[in-house]
C-alpha cells in the first residue's frame, strides 16, 4: 500500500502540471493581421514592424505578436533591432591634376598661382629650375568643387605601367601657401609576377576637408605618370531605420500657450520634434508627458523649435533626443508665451524594430497582433539560422481578425479543472500523512509486544 501512494501523487502532479500549459493560440485570437509578402523561397525571412502595429498592440513590449503559416500554426520568430543601413561610399569626381617637375619645394617656392573664381581652373606657372624637367616629383589637386571631406584619393596610371613600390606624402591646403601633412607616407605599389599583379593605388587617410591637395613622392619617384586622381568622399555613417508618428495638438482648456497630444499608444520614443505650420516661426517650448490622463505631467525636455525660410526652402531645427519614453500623452507648453502656440504637430521618432521568423510549414504567412492575454513567445534564432540567408520580406495592408474585443483582457473565470486537481493532490498528501501515522503506530505497538 505504501508503494502505491507515490504513484498516486505522481499521477496527480502530472495532471496538475499538464493543465498549466497555456492554451494554443490561433489567428482568430488576435485583433488584427497583416499578410507577409515573401518575394522568394527561403528558410528565414525578415521585415520591419510597421508603425501601425505599435499603435494597435495590447502590450508595448510587443509580446502579443505571432506569425502563422497557411495551416494556422505558429512559427518560431524573434524580435530584433532593425539593421543599420549600410554605409554608402559616394563616387567622387576626378580632380583636376597638375604635375610639378623637379624639386617640389623649389618648384613651389617659384610657383605663381592664378585661380579663376567662376570655374575650377588653376594655372600653375613655375620659375626656372635646374631640376630634370622630365621627372614629376609632386602633383597638386584642385578639390574646390567638393563640399564634403575626403578620406581617400584613388590614383590612376596607364595600363602596362612598369613595376614600382614607393610612398607618397599627402598634404592639404586652403590657399596653396600653407600646407598641412595629412599622411606622411602612404604606400603605392605596382608589381607584376607570373601573370599576377599586386596593386595598391588607393591612398587612405583620416577624414579631411580641404580646397587643395598635394601628393609628393617620398624618396624615389615613380617611373610612370599619374593620368588622373579620383576623390573618395568620407563614408556616410551607418544609420538605424526610424519609425515616426505625428500627432495633431488639441487646446488644453482655455490656455492658448499649451497644446495636448495623444499618440494613441505607448511608443518607445527616443526623439521629439515640433512641426511648425508657418515659415519664419520660432517657439521656445517645454515638453511634458504622462502615461494616463489622471497622472501629473512630468517634464521631459525643452528646447527652441524653428522653421526659417531660406528663399528656395525652409531651414528647421534638429529633433531633440530624449531617454526612451513610452508615455502616451504629451503636452507642449510655451516657456515665454508671446501669443497662441498655433496649430503645431508633435513628431515622435524611435529606432525601428525587425521581426525574423523561420518558414516552418507552407505559406502564405501572416502577422497577427493584438491580444491582451498573450505572453511573449519570441525565441533566440541565432543558433538556428547561422549561415542561412535571411530573405527580406514586407507586410501588406492590415485587416480585422478577431476584432477589438481581443485587446481587452478576458474575464476572470474559476479554473474548475485546476481547482479539482489541486484538491485531489492535497487530499493525496493528507492520505499519505495518515498512512505514515498509522504505520508508525503499528510499528511502535509491535516493538512493545516483543519486549514483553
pLDDT tens series, the chain, 452 aa: 444 444 433 333 444 433 333 457 899 999 999 999 998 989 999 999 998 898 888 888 889 999 999 999 999 999 988 776 665 556 678 999 999 987 544 444 445 444 444 444 555 554 444 455 578 999 999 999 888 899 999 999 998 889 999 999 999 999 988 999 999 999 999 988 777 788 999 999 999 999 999 999 998 889 999 999 999 888 766 567 888 999 999 988 788 889 999 998 888 999 999 999 888 888 899 999 999 999 999 999 999 999 888 777 788 898 999 999 999 999 999 988 777 788 899 999 998 889 999 999 988 999 999 998 888 888 888 888 888 889 999 999 999 998 888 887 765 555 667 778 878 888 888 888 888 777 777 776 665 555 55
Residue after which a domain boundary falls, among 233, 254, 279: 233
Q: List Cα–Cα distances, 409 to 171, 378, 404, 412, in angstroms.
A: 69, 21, 11, 9
Which range of residues forms the domain containing residue 295?
242-351
Task: Based on the fold, state whether residues 112 and 180 are members of the same structural domain.
Answer: yes
Task: Based on the fold, state whether residues 403 and 418 are members of the same structural domain.
Answer: no
Task: Based on the fold, state whether residues 358 and 389 are members of the same structural domain.
Answer: yes
Task: Based on the fold, state whether residues 217 and 101 are members of the same structural domain.
Answer: yes
Asked whether residue 199 is assigned to any structural domain, the reply reads yes
Task: Based on the fold, state whether residues 323 and 361 are members of the same structural domain.
Answer: no
Contact 420, 76 (CB under 8 A): no
Asked whether residue 300 is assigned to any structural domain, the reply reads yes
Task: Based on the fold, state whether residues 340 and 374 are members of the same structural domain.
Answer: no
- CB atoms inside a 10 Å sphere around CB 324: 10
Task: Based on the fold, state whether residues 343 and 394 are members of the same structural domain.
Answer: no
Task: Based on the fold, state whether residues 281 and 216 are members of the same structural domain.
Answer: no
* Strand residue runs (E) in 107-179: 112-115, 122-125, 136-142, 150-156, 164-173
Rounded Cα–Cα distance for residues 213 and 403 (Å): 66
Task: Based on the fold, state whether residues 341 and 378 are members of the same structural domain.
Answer: no
Q: Which residues pair with 288 in a beta bridge?
A: 299, 331
Contact 345, 307 (CB under 8 A): no
- Matching residue, cell 500627432: 247
Task: Based on the fold, state whether residues 268 and 366 are members of the same structural domain.
Answer: no
Asked whether residue 26 is assigned to any structural domain, the reply reads no
422 by Cβ neighbours in 10 Å (0-12 / 13-18 / 19+) ranks as middle
**Model-level pTM?**
0.55
Residue after which a domain boundary falls, among 373, 389, 407: 407
Q: Which residues pair with 66 in a beta bridge?
A: 368
Residue after which a domain boundary falls, among 196, 212, 233: 233
* Strand residue runs (E) in 25-149: 32-37, 44-48, 65-68, 77-81, 94-95, 97-101, 112-115, 122-125, 136-142
Number of domains in the chain: 4
Rounded to 5, what percent of the chain is helix, strand, coil?
Answer: 15, 40, 40
Q: Helix, strand or coil for residue 259?
A: strand
Asked whether residue 170 is assigned to any structural domain, the reply reads yes
Asked whether residue 118 is assigned to any structural domain, the reply reads yes
Task: Based on the fold, state whether residues 135 and 12 are members of the same structural domain.
Answer: no
Task: Based on the fold, state whether residues 109 and 218 are members of the same structural domain.
Answer: yes
The CATH number assigned to the domain holding 262 equals 2.60.120.260
Amino acid at each position: 500500500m505504501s508503494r502505491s501512494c507515490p504513484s498516486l501523487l505522481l499521477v496527480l502532479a502530472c495532471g496538475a502540471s499538464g493543465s498549466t500549459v497555456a492554451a494554443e493560440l490561433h489567428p482568430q485570437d488576435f485583433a488584427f493581421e497583416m499578410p507577409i509578402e515573401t518575394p522568394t523561397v527561403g528558410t528565414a525571412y525578415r521585415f520591419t514592424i510597421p508603425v501601425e502595429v505599435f499603435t494597435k498592440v495590447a502590450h508595448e513590449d510587443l509580446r502579443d505578436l505571432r506569425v502563422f503559416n497557411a495551416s494556422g500554426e505558429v512559427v518560431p520568430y524573434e524580435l530584433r533591432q532593425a539593421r543599420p543601413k549600410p554605409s554608402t561610399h559616394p563616387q567622387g569626381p576626378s580632380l583636376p591634376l597638375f604635375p610639378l617637375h623637379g624639386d617640389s619645394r623649389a618648384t613651389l617656392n617659384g610657383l605663381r598661382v592664378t585661380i579663376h573664381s567662376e570655374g575650377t581652373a588653376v594655372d600653375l606657372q613655375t620659375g626656372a629650375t635646374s631640376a630634370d624637367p622630365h621627372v614629376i616629383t609632386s602633383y597638386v589637386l584642385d578639390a574646390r568643387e567638393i563640399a564634403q571631406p575626403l578620406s581617400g584619393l584613388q590614383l590612376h596610371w596607364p595600363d602596362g605601367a612598369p613595376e614600382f613600390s614607393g610612398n607618397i606624402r599627402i598634404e592639404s591646403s586652403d590657399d596653396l601657401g600653407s600646407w598641412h601633412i595629412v599622411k606622411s607616407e602612404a604606400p603605392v605599389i605596382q608589381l607584376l609576377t607570373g601573370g599576377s599583379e599586386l596593386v595598391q593605388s588607393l591612398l587612405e587617410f583620416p577624414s579631411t576637408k580641404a580646397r587643395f591637395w598635394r601628393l609628393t613622392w617620398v624618396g624615389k619617384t615613380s617611373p610612370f605618370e599619374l593620368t588622373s586622381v579620383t576623390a573618395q568622399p568620407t563614408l556616410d555613417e551607418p544609420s538605424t531605420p526610424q519609425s515616426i508618428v505625428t500627432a495633431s495638438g488639441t487646446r488644453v482648456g482655455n490656455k492658448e500657450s499649451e497644446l495636448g497630444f495623444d499618440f494613441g499608444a505607448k511608443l518607445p520614443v527616443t526623439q521629439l520634434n515640433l512641426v511648425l505650420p508657418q515659415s519664419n516661426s520660432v517657439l521656445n517650448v517645454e515638453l511634458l508627458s504622462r502615461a494616463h490622463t489622471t497622472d501629473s505631467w512630468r517634464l521631459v525636455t525643452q528646447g527652441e523649435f524653428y522653421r526659417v525660410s531660406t528663399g528656395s526652402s525652409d531651414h528647421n531645427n534638429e529633433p531633440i533626443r530624449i531617454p526612451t519614453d513610452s508615455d502616451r500623452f504629451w503636452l507642449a507648453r510655451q516657456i515665454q508665451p508671446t501669443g497662441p502656440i498655433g496649430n503645431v504637430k508633435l513628431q515622435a521618432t524611435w529606432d525601428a524594430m525587425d521581426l525574423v521568423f523561420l518558414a516552418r510549414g507552407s505559406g502564405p504567412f501572416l502577422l497577427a497582433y493584438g491580444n491582451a492575454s498573450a505572453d511573449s513567445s519570441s525565441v533566440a534564432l541565432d543558433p538556428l539560422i547561422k549561415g542561412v540567408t535571411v530573405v527580406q520580406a514586407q507586410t501588406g495592408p492590415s485587416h480585422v481578425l478577431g476584432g477589438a474585443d481581443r485587446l481587452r483582457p478576458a474575464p476572470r473565470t474559476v479554473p474548475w479543472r485546476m481547482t479539482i486537481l489541486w484538491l485531489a493532490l492535497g487530499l493525496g498528501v493528507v492520505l499519505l500523512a495518515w498512512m505514515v501515522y498509522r504505520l508508525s503506530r503499528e510499528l511502535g505497538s509491535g516493538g512493545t509486544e516483543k519486549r514483553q
